[in-house]
Chains A and B, each alone.
Chain A
């Protein structure tokens, strides 16, 4: 079956530090990959997505590259801000099916 594994948090960084949140997956076929972000007290928001191998998704300074050879979709940002503090979820869907399989989430805490 499908599964997503994320690095455990919390990840604690100072403002302007470099961010990496690791995500690996197991899936049949050719999944689409997503990063969602959940700010305190809010619902999930799509941050970025990639639908085929070697695609790079990017948004708000975040980016992630779909690596089929390593079954990974790591999230990166060059310089984090306090406002980036949130929980980040890696997720996938199988081609043709829209059911999202989520990882457990990684909390990011950015201090000034």
Chain B
């Protein structure tokens, strides 16, 4: 079974530029998550989708971050404009369903450096 795919793996941009990340979840997984992992910290949830609807985006900085999941499969996360503090690893995860006992499967992440 193929895992969660993410691209690009690495991205370097200057502040105020825009950047987009792509995620393809495990086939058949209805729930998709985007996490931000700052160096030395645990991942923090940015947004959760159930199929193509948003379940939780309470920690998404909506003035600069946006995400969509068209057709309930692939997802893109965009930052516009980027700030220095956005430098982090952006992790995508998926699970079959939403729920406290569901296992989330993570992709390899996209490492973003903002200069």
Q: Which residues of A contact B (CB under 8 A)?
A: 4, 31-32, 36, 41-46, 49, 51, 89, 91, 93-100, 102-105
Contacting residue for B103 out of A31, A49, A105, CB 8 A: A49
Report 11 cross-chain contacts, Cβ distance below 8 Å, ordered by A residue: A32-B101, A41-B108, A45-B106, A46-B103, A49-B103, A91-B42, A94-B100, A95-B100, A96-B99, A98-B100, A104-B40
Contact B100 A102 (CB under 8 A): no
Chain B residues, Cβ within 8 Å of A46: 103-105
Most B C-beta atoms less than 10 A away, residue of A31, A41, A44, A93: A44
Chain A residues, Cβ within 8 Å of B104: 46, 98, 100
Chain A residues, Cβ within 8 Å of B93: 44
Q: How far is the CA of A44 from the CA of B93 in the complex (A)?
A: 9
Q: Does any Cβ of A come within 8 Å of B13's Cβ?
A: no
Contact A51 B101 (CB under 8 A): yes
Contact A102 B42 (CB under 8 A): yes
Q: How far is the CA of A94 from the CA of B99 in the complex (A)?
A: 8
Contact A98 B42 (CB under 8 A): no
Given A43-B107, A44-B91, do A98 and B41 touch, yes or no (CB 8 Å)?
no
- Interface class of chain A by DSSP: loop
Q: How far is the CA of A31 from the CA of B101 in the complex (A)?
A: 9
* Shortest distance from the beta carbon of B109 to any chain A beta carbon, whole Å: 5
Q: Which residues of B contact A (CB under 8 A)?
A: 4, 6, 31, 33, 35, 40-45, 48, 56, 91, 93, 95, 98-109
Given A49-B103, A91-B42, A103-B42, do A43 and B48 touch, yes or no (CB 8 Å)?
no
Q: Of all chain A residues, which has the CB nearest B45?
A: A99
Contacting residue for B41 out of A36, A100, A104, CB 8 A: A104
Chain B residues, Cβ within 8 Å of A45: 106
Ranked nearest first, the 4 interchain pairs of A and B with the lowest CB-CB distance are A102-B42, A43-B106, A44-B106, A93-B100
* Shortest distance from the beta carbon of B46 to any chain A beta carbon, whole Å: 11
Q: Of all chain A residues, which has the CB nearest B6?
A: A43
Q: Of all chain A residues, which has the CB nearest B43?
A: A102
